[in-house]
Amino acid sequence: DTLPERFGPGAFGFGRPAEPAQVATLDIDVRPDGTGLPAGSGTVATGAVIFAAKCSACHGAGGTGGPNGALVITDATPGKRPAKVIGNYWPYATTVFDYIRRAMPFNEPGSLTNDEVYALTAFLLHRNKLIDEKTVMNAKTVPAVRMPAQASYVPDDRTGGPEIR
Amino acid sequence: DTLPERFGPGAFGFGRPAEPAQVATLDIDVRPDGTGLPAGSGTVATGAVIFAAKCSACHGAGGTGGPNGALVITDATPGKRPAKVIGNYWPYATTVFDYIRRAMPFNEPGSLTNDEVYALTAFLLHRNKLIDEKTVMNAKTVPAVRMPAQASYVPDDRTGGPEIR
Amino acid sequence: AMAATVMQTALANGLQVGLPDDPTKQMGTPPGKLGSRSRFETLAKAPSDISSRSPLQDFKGMITPSDLHFERHHNGVPTIDPATYSLTIHGLVDRPTVFTLADLKRFPSVSRIAFLECSGNFRTGKETMTPQDICGLTSQSEWSGVRLSTLFREVGVREKASWFLAEGGDAALMTRSIPVRKGWDDAIVAYAQNGEAIRPEQGYPVRLFLPGWEGNTSVKWLRRIELGDAPWHTREETSKYTETIKDGRIRQFSFDIDARSIITFPTYPAQIERGWVEVRGLAWSGRGKVSRVEVSTDAGKHWQVAELQAPVLDKAHTVFRHLWRWEGSETLITSRVVDETGYVQPTLKQLLDARGPDTGGYHMNPVTAWLIKPDGRVLYQPDYGR
Amino acid sequence: AMAATVMQTALANGLQVGLPDDPTKQMGTPPGKLGSRSRFETLAKAPSDISSRSPLQDFKGMITPSDLHFERHHNGVPTIDPATYSLTIHGLVDRPTVFTLADLKRFPSVSRIAFLECSGNFRTGKETMTPQDICGLTSQSEWSGVRLSTLFREVGVREKASWFLAEGGDAALMTRSIPVRKGWDDAIVAYAQNGEAIRPEQGYPVRLFLPGWEGNTSVKWLRRIELGDAPWHTREETSKYTETIKDGRIRQFSFDIDARSIITFPTYPAQIERGWVEVRGLAWSGRGKVSRVEVSTDAGKHWQVAELQAPVLDKAHTVFRHLWRWEGSETLITSRVVDETGYVQPTLKQLLDARGPDTGGYHMNPVTAWLIKPDGRVLYQPDYGR
Ligand code: HEC
Ligand code: HEC
Ligand SMILES: [Ca+2]
Ligand SMILES: [Ca+2]
Ligand SMILES: [Ca+2]
Ligand SMILES: [Ca+2]
Ligand SMILES: [Ca+2]
Ligand SMILES: [Ca+2]
Ligand SMILES: [Co+2]
Ligand SMILES: [Co+2]
Average pLDDT in the A43-56 region?
98
Output the residue whose Cα is nearest ligand 2's atom 34.
B55
State the distance from the centre of ligand 1 to the C-alpha of C86, rounded, in angstroms.
28
Verify that C105 and C246 share a domain, yes or no. yes
Looking at residue C4, its pLDDT comes to 35
Calculate what percentage of chain A has a pLDDT beyond 70.
Answer: 96
pLDDT at position C301 is: 97
Cα-based distances in Å from C195 to A22, A140, D69, D130, D194 = 33, 50, 11, 17, 12
D114 and D62 in a common domain: yes
Question: Mean pLDDT score of chain A, rounded to an integer?
Answer: 94
Q: Which of B49, B58, B124, B125 for mutating ligand 2's site (highest number of atoms within 8 Å of CB)? A: B58
CB D2 within 8 A of CB A59: no
More confident residue, D172 or D8: D172
pLDDT band of A4, cuts 50, 70, 90: low
What gap in Å lies between CA D120 and CA D135, rounded to an integer?
Answer: 9
Confidence of residue D18 (pLDDT cuts 50, 70, 90): confident
Contact C23 D64 (CB under 8 A): no
The per-residue pLDDT for range D352-381, each reduced to its tens digit, is: 999 999 898 999 999 999 999 999 999 999
CB neighbours of B53 closer than 8 A, spacing ≥ 6? none
Whether residue D321 is found in the same domain as residue D205:
no
State if residue B122 touches ligand 2 by the CB under 6 angstroms criterion.
no
Contact D68, C34 (CB under 8 A): yes
Q: Is C6 in the pocket of ligand 2 (CB under 6 A)?
A: yes
**A5: pLDDT strictly greater than 70:** no
The predicted model gives A58-83 an average pLDDT of 90
Task: Confirm whether A133 is domain-assigned.
Answer: yes
Is ipTM strictly over 0.90?
A: yes
pLDDT at position C20, please?
87
The mean pLDDT of chain D is 95
User: What residues make up the domain containing B130?
Assistant: 28-72+80-151
- Name which of B106, B153, B162 is nearest D75 (Cβ-Cβ): B106
Distance CA D254, CA D238 (A): 11
Q: Looking at residue C56, which CATH number applies to its domain? A: 3.90.420.10
Q: Where is pLDDT greater, at D192 or A7?
A: D192
Q: Which residues span the domain enclosing D367?
A: 260-380
CA dist., res. D369 & res. D243, Å (int): 25
Contact D215, D118 (CB under 8 A): yes
Whole-angstrom distance, CA of residue C358 vs CA of residue C129? 23
Chain C hits for A84, CB-CB cut-off 8 Å, are 239
What average pLDDT score do residues D91-97 get?
Answer: 98
Residue C154 confidence (pLDDT): 97
Asked if D7 and A110 come within 8 Å (Cβ–Cβ), the reply is: no
Touch between C and D (at least 3 CB pairs under 8 Å): yes
State the pLDDT at residue B4: 54
D189-196 mean pLDDT = 98
Q: Is the pLDDT at C6 greater than 90, yes or no?
A: no
In the prediction, which pLDDT does D11 show? Answer: 40
Confirm whether A160 is domain-assigned: no
- What digits encode the pLDDT tens for the residues A10-20? 899 999 999 99
Lowest mean pLDDT among A29-43, B115-129, C62-76, D3-17: D3-17
Q: Are residues D236 and D266 in the same domain?
A: no
Chains that touch B (3 or more CB pairs under 8 A): C, D
Residue D251 lies in a domain: no
Crossing angle (nearest 10°) for helices A114-127 and A44-54 = 100
Q: Are residues D319 and D171 part of one domain?
A: no
pLDDT tens string C102-140: 999 999 999 999 999 999 999 999 999 999 999 999 999
| pLDDT at residue D256, as a whole number | 98
Q: Confidence class of residue C12 from pLDDT cuts 50, 70 and 90?
A: very low
Position A144 in a domain:
yes
Both C78 and C199 in one domain: the answer is yes
- Residue D75: predicted pLDDT: 98
Q: Which residues of chain B have pLDDT under 70?
A: 1-6
CA distance D184 to A22: 64
- Give the Cβ contact number of residue C353 at 10 Å: 13
**Which pLDDT score is estimated for C25?**
97
Among C251, C270, C297, which residue terminates a domain?
A: C251
Confidence of residue C284 (pLDDT cuts 50, 70, 90): very high
Would residue B121 count as lying in a domain? yes
pLDDT at B7: 80
- Asked if residue C61 and residue C147 are part of one domain, the reply reads yes
In this prediction, residues D58-68 reach a mean pLDDT of 98
For residue B68, the distance in angstroms to the closest alpha carbon of chain D comes to 11
Query: pLDDT tens, C194-220?
Result: 999 999 999 999 999 999 999 999 999
Give residue-wise pLDDT tens across range D265-297.
999 999 999 999 999 999 999 999 999 999 999
Residues C88 and C116 in one domain: yes
Is B159 within a domain? no
pLDDT tens digits for C308-317?
Answer: 999 999 999 9
Domain count, chain A: 1
User: Are A and B touching by the rule of 3+ CB pairs within 8 Å?
Assistant: no
Q: Which of C222, C251, C280 is the last residue of a domain?
A: C251
The verdict on C76 and C206 lying in the same domain is yes
In a domain, B12, yes or no: no
Give the confidence band of C1 by pLDDT, cuts at 50, 70, 90.
very low
Position B120 in a domain: yes
Is pLDDT above 70 for D236? yes
- The answer, for A61 touching chain D at a CB cutoff of 8 Å, is no
The reported pLDDT for the residue numbered C19 is: 84
Ligand 1, atom 42, lies closest to the CA of A106
pLDDT of residue B1: 40
Query: Read out DSSP for C32-70?
Result: -SS----TT-----EE-SSEEE--GGG--SSPPPGGGS-
Stronger pLDDT, C368 or C358, i.e. the higher one: C368
Q: Is residue C385 part of a domain?
A: no
Residue A11, domain member (yes or no): no
Query: Final residue of a domain: which of C196, C230, C251?
Result: C251
Q: What is the pLDDT of residue C2?
A: 32
Nearest-CA neighbor of C86 among C192, C157, C169? C169
- CATH code of B93's domain: 1.10.760.10
Mean pLDDT for D330-351 is 98
Taking only the tens place, the pLDDT of each residue in A64-74 is 999 999 999 98
Residue C138 · residue C317 · CB < 8 Å = yes
Q: What is the pLDDT of residues D111-166, one digit of tens each?
A: 999 999 999 999 999 999 999 999 999 999 999 999 999 999 999 999 999 999 99
Total domains, chain D? 2
